[in-house]
Amino acid sequence: MDVVFIRLLFVLIVGVVCFVIRPFNLPSSLAAVVGLLIGVAIVVFEWRLRAMSLKRLIGAAIGSVLGIVGAYLFALVIRNSISPSPTQSFLQIMVMLVMAYVGLAVGATKGDLLNLAALGGIFGGEKTGKKSYKILDTSVIIDGRIADIAETGFLDGLIVIPQFVLRELQLVADSADSLKRNRGRRGLDILQRLQKTASVQIQIVEDDFPSVREVDMKLIELAKVYEGKILTNDFNLNKVAQLQGVAVLNINELANSLKPIVLPGEVMRVFILKEGKEYNQGVAYLDDGTMVVIDNARKMIGKTIDISVTSVLQTTAGKMIFGKWDERGPVRHDAKAVAPPAMAVPPVAGTSAPPTEPAKKQTPAAVDRAAD
């Protein structure tokens, strides 16, 4: 609030001074308006300077000084080649303004190349201020998990969304196929979620590469220009970008790295969902989608059993766990879990033996009756 008050007071002082002095013999009211405009322009210029880094400020100062020196040399040439006249004065002023402006603009642009840390002292604490750009791919936008990652605060830097990715997403949303249309609309909803996330900065860039047709190659070229990283879950784009030296953040690889670690010999409880490809195998899935292949578990389909992990296979597509079911141990535990419905059918079996034994003998008896 103090800075705003000082700026307003400065604008009013400039307006009052112009009202009293009346520069260029202007009327008092018009002079006051001109003074207020000059004050506002100075405040805007100061506000823009506050956002610049120290490197750019030093570069702009050096560039403007060099521009003024060059303009003075040009003015000497003009003075000796042109007779004194209004044209001479106009050319000298224009050369001064042009050279000062060009030096200021070029110096501010090239100021980032200065190495102030080498000077030490007060310049040693100047930070680089280099931004980290994350460029989104169409596939990762449609996937949707990027919004959840951004909301947790693990995603930093500036999120860049190219205009050609938005066009591709819009084409998918306008597709005649209902499945593609729903995927495209889901991607647009994910972008709205990202824009509403306070911890993430979104920037839509207009950069395009007309000579490049494929969107994936455009993303790679854009990442080279911005020196950023590509966020994707496309396996092929991941490989091509790495071959061209572009850093890639793969959402699928992140999900695989967050899966729980299972070591051989550990005991885990799984639900046998279906039959495996090999003989007498059963297949189960963990909560994160990891496939578990169990030997000797074909006859336990539809039941929850305890297995012993034998090996873990890590592939680019994900993790696969292999285990073995011991009929002697886990059967008793699983039989107790299904004992109430087994005892409800044969009420006589509960009098002479534990509930586990009738449950084990029930399947062979059914097989014998089917054979007869």
Domain boundaries, the chain: 10-115, 133-257, 267-327
pLDDT digits (tens, 9 = 90+) for 185-243: 999 999 999 888 878 888 888 888 888 888 899 999 999 888 889 999 988 898 999 89
Indicate the CATH number of 267-327 among 3.40.640.10, 3.40.50.300, 2.40.50.140, 3.10.20.440.
2.40.50.140
Write the pLDDT tens digit of every residue in 269-279: 899 999 888 88
- Which pairs with CB-CB distance under 8 Å and at least 24 residues apart come from 116-119? 116/54, 116/55, 116/58
Question: Domain 133-257 has what CATH class?
Answer: alpha beta
Which pLDDT tens digit goes with each residue over 64-76? 899 999 989 988 8
pLDDT of residue 115: 67
What pLDDT was estimated at residue 48? 79
Counting as low any pLDDT under 50, the low residues of the chain are 330-372
